[in-house]
A and B are shown apart, each in its own frame.
Chain A
């Protein structure tokens, strides 16, 4: 196990350095001068500009700037945001719980609906439910997030007035946030209605962000189940006298989960990418919105650090998936 982890960590190294390089180059490739953006409406004098250029080291050769940045990263220093002057690291982890909360809810939504839907579709292959579900999944999969979000906002928030349009909680509530997870903090706060408000705010972003993973998981579960259901051991399970739940929900699903877990792991990357758009649409104060804002402000350290941390998180998730995969697939658990 330890050996496995180490070897996986080694394969992460090239990705890690690749991300530092790409994020460094990407933000600098965008036209626009961070110093001018920072100065904003007031403008800036020639001398002050030159001074700041020297201060930020923009006058040095680009490779030197990169090595400098890399050297900082190796020491765990992601630099300070140009805008807030706070360490990128702190900024990131102050906002991360909001993104994590949304992503976990979206994933839970996708898995809790996708798995049963895929199983039921496979068991009723070719019947009405199967066809309806698979066409819906295809639509869900190909629907642009942006459009889908606006549609939901218009119908659910606008016409039906069931959910708020943006933010994490109603402005009426104000309480300390020790964990950063609104669902938990609102419960701890003991304020009446706070938790319900937090849930209401979560619903639409969760649905929007979870739709594509939901479609992917449902389709993958269905096809994995169809494959597994024709296996000999399913016949053995039926020959024991097991009922539909024992056959489909235990014997078949357990095997079908093996490919599905891989897909779930892969959707985490998609999810974080989707979070950027979703958070922007719903003014959700998380990493995604922060990244977009930072890009517009040409906040080099924030963008570089943010992309790097997101990449590391995706790598950690993938590693976790590999470990989980080993647990649910006894054939590779050994060794």
Chain B
């Protein structure tokens, strides 16, 4: 049985301009100890779907799902209080902006020990020892001093390490890393990714890595799920995904990788992800798709077979040659 299973998750926000469907029928499934990457451009609902699962969305969000199950618990029927016992202990999350994700008024030590106080029955001394151990584990030099430091005294990379240590405090079964490296310098990015994948293997925990960088996916992921405008448009193991992407959007993302660029300029996909007011009636990718025809523009496509990467497309790509195009 999968550690995490979500089927047909939708999230709608009540906004001033009416409801906005930020996540639209997404399935996610992760096994024990597995690494899943979720890729997609900004605004594709990656964060919102994970926040929905953690119960961290504001009250303006309405969450519906057929199944939302984690480690034998039904997340849907659960009260907020019951969910709080799981969150931060078995299921933890780290965020894109490490600097603003730590509370500026409390020391790093207070913030990590708080998680331990909440979910374990370690005493003061044991919590301190555990905090030091965690800081060492995530490669923070001089842990004793860093525990006493306030967030503004830490660099971005160091803050993200603190966030990771906090998330790992209670040995979670699942860690969700929401673009953990986007806000960091390139060299630090590689270090943090390396740290996360190492920890995932050593601790045997499952890791969901959210990113919009296909390069990161190529280096780390086992399985990849591509999201676009709130929908899952494709899902494949990493290697076939790179060699034979099935959805034109995936192919376009891959073509936009800097290594594959033939020109000097960094290639991008023309156009933007549709927002609240410009959602097309048919395929959501149609306005940007080079294969789009009238059928695409009028009828929303259904996911294709698993062999075709569950591609949500009327005309999934079948040739590697086409994908390269």
Verify A241–B101 contact, CB threshold 8 A: no
B45-76 residues with Cβ-Cβ distance < 8 A to A are 54-56
Main secondary structure of the interface of A (DSSP, over half): helix
Q: For the complex, what is the distance from the CA of A146 to the CA of B105, rounded to whole Å?
A: 41
Verify B88–A235 contact, CB threshold 8 A: no
7 new A-B pairs (CB below 8 Å) besides A233-B102, A238-B87, A251-B103? Answer: A233-B100, A236-B111, A238-B55, A241-B87, A246-B118, A251-B106, A329-B105
Q: For the complex, what is the distance from the CA of A232 to the CA of B104, rounded to whole Å?
A: 11
A210-243 residues with Cβ-Cβ distance < 8 A to B are 231-233, 235-243
| B84 partner residues in chain A, CB cutoff 8 A | 241-243
Verify B103–A254 contact, CB threshold 8 A: yes
| A283 partner residues in chain B, CB cutoff 8 A | none
Q: For the complex, what is the distance from the CA of A329 to the CA of B150, rounded to whole Å?
A: 10
Q: Is residue B166 contacting chain A, with contact meaning CB distance below 8 A? A: yes
Verify A236–B87 contact, CB threshold 8 A: no
Verify A241–B89 contact, CB threshold 8 A: yes
Most buried by A among B81, B84, B119: B84
Q: Is residue B319 contacting chain A, with contact meaning CB distance below 8 A? A: no
Q: A235-B56, A330-B150, A331-B150 are in contact. Are A240 and B104 (CB under 8 A)?
A: no
Q: Which of A236, A329, A331 contacts B101 (CB 8 A)?
A: A236
Verify A233–B88 contact, CB threshold 8 A: no
Contact with B along A134-147 (1 / 0, CB 8 A): 00000000000000
B152-196 residues with Cβ-Cβ distance < 8 A to A are 152, 163, 166
| B92 partner residues in chain A, CB cutoff 8 A | 239
Verify B101–A330 contact, CB threshold 8 A: no
Question: Closest chain B residue to A257 by CB distance?
Answer: B105
Verify A235–B166 contact, CB threshold 8 A: no
Q: How far is the CB of B23 from chain A (nearest CB, A)?
A: 17
Contact with A along B243-283 (1 / 0, CB 8 A): 00000000000000000000000000000000000000000
Most buried by B among A235, A239, A242, A246: A239
* Chain B positions near chain A (C-beta within 8 angstroms): 54-56, 81, 84-89, 92-93, 95, 97, 100-106, 111, 114-115, 118-119, 150, 152, 163, 166
Q: Which 9 A-B pairs have the closest CB atoms?
A: A241-B88, A240-B88, A233-B103, A232-B100, A330-B150, A241-B84, A241-B87, A254-B105, A232-B101
| B111 partner residues in chain A, CB cutoff 8 A | 236
Q: Which of B97, B103, B105 contacts A328 (CB 8 A)?
A: B105
Q: How far is the CB of B101 from chain A (nearest CB, A)?
A: 5
Question: Closest chain B residue to A231 by CB distance?
Answer: B100
Verify B95–A330 contact, CB threshold 8 A: no
Q: For the complex, what is the distance from the CA of A131 to the CA of B63, rounded to whole Å?
A: 28
Q: For the complex, what is the distance from the CA of A242 to the CA of B88, rounded to whole Å?
A: 8
Q: How far is the CB of B255 from chain A (nearest CB, A)?
A: 33
Q: How far is the CB of B125 from chain A (nearest CB, A)?
A: 21
| A243 partner residues in chain B, CB cutoff 8 A | 81, 84
